Chain A
Amino acid sequence: MSFEILSFSFMHRALISGVAIAILCSVIGLFLVLRRYSLFGDAIAHSSFGGIALGLLAGVYPLWTAYGVSLVSALIITRVKEKFNISGDASVAVLLSSGIAVGLVIIGISGGFTIDIFSFLFGSILLVSVNDTILILSLTGIILIVVLVLYRQLLYSTFNEEQAKVSGIPVEKINYLIVFMAGLTVVTSIQLVGVLLISALFVIPNVTAIMYGKGFKQTAILSISFSIFSVVTGILISYVFDITPAGTIVLLSIGLFAGTMGIKSMGLLSKN
């Protein structure tokens, strides 16, 4: 592999955006996984598909409409789940299929715009612009600051809602905040792996890291490291061999997951 590829500015943008997204997805994903909300990222991503189609139809930059649609549907589904006592997985299923259904109908109405849709479905990290990179870095910065400032409240309400309430933590508000940040993260990450593979970035590095039996912060750091490794290696390999980055990144994460399971089954990790 030649180091020449590291001199291209599109590659710089791809790697910088990729690393930022890797960090963001690991951090937000850890809270989602521990709340048994692993597929929530997937559901928001699918609802954003409707938003993307809407943007393409209306001639607006599709990611803006995707942000709008995803955030609104994430908040609605959280409210519906609370109010009507629908289980997490069922509410995710409703959201997931509604987004795709809306998207398909809009595509049908417009007569189809398959090429653009394809890049949103499977990601196009090598095509991110300077503006995209700035947006990704800014959102990553803002969300990470919020997580650091509210770390105790986020962790406590994830660990046990009832006890967090008794400790005076505004659990409902924290729940909405997590869903809101997850919505922003998903749409921001669509450019890296696309709508279809987004939940892999939320879930796989975290379930891998959890197997190492460490505390919360170390688990988060491990997850971020696995994620960065998969994203950076995946982008480089996919460029060199001319294969899809999204698929390569996700397969690398699955490789780390399988490797960790192997180490664990040989008894080389602690009990947990």
Chain B
Amino acid sequence: MNVVEIEHLTVKYPDVKALDDVSFTVKEGDFLGIIGPNGAGKSTLFATMLGLNNKYDGIIKFFGQDIRKSKDYLKEIGYVPQKPIFEKNFPATVNDIVRMSLRKESNEKKIDEILQQLWIHELSNRRIGELSGGQLQRVFIAKALVNNPKILILDEPVTGIDQQNIDLFFSILRELNSKQKITIIWSSHDLDAVNQLANHVACLNRTLFFHGESDDFFDNDELVKQYSEASMQEHMHHH
């Protein structure tokens, strides 16, 4: 069953097309890695899918429903932003942040369970401004999971996090996808990570130049080379 269908999605900014005629589908239980260099339109794609940008052409459907018609699909989505922005001294503990997302008070028990699952149980009374990048990221995943979402959307979630925390994070994602059958849509510019985790790959650089099984992508040397070059140029450009 398709949980996400995107048809001919185009997003225009005044000077440039951020997304140009992008179409793809995501099936229930997929682990889709969306790869592309910085500025490829990944964040624009997510913002539009999450209903934060209404100025687009084309159709986006979640669970068969056009998102222009109803925002109910948001209840089934957990979203982990690229870099959670907040005031350093915001007076909120881990517990406050996770609880804030909770739709039904009856799911109270769920909070403990998730904090334990993500190894942040002992941090529950710490202020979020005191946490490391890796801990903070797990707090935001906990926050995204607290309403039992069917789909988890993560935007470049390993930027600025150390290797040990990245490994822990990957094993958590694998478990969520394989055991809890949560569909995962994950944007990244790290090809190795996508190769390790995702079973589907979409390559985005304003337009979609590949979408399919991840083996088909990684077996195709030409595509991988093309992606790596684009990514490398971007990298050089930024340094």
Contact = CB atoms under 8 A, between A and B. Distances in A.
Contacts, number: 70
Interface string A24-40: 00000000001000000
Interface string B152-182: 0000000000000000000000000000000
B215 interface: no
A129 interface: no
B85 A160 contact: yes
Nearest to B102: A152
B6 interface: no
A215 B100 contact: no
Contacts of B101: 156, 167
Contact of A215 (B50, B51, B84, B96): B96
B230 interface: no
B71 A215 contact: no
Interface in B45-103: 50-52, 71, 74-75, 77, 79, 81, 84-93, 95-97, 99-102
Interface residues of B, number: 30
A211 B88 CA distance: 12
A162 B74 CA distance: 13
B100 A168 contact: no
A252 B90 CA distance: 25
A159 interface: yes
Given A166-B50, A219-B91, 6 more contacts: A34-B91, A159-B92, A160-B85, A168-B71, A209-B91, A214-B91
20 contacts: A155-B92, A159-B86, A162-B52, A165-B51, A165-B52, A166-B50, A166-B74, A167-B101, A210-B89, A210-B91, A211-B89, A213-B127, A214-B91, A214-B93, A214-B127, A215-B96, A215-B127, A216-B96, A218-B91, A272-B88
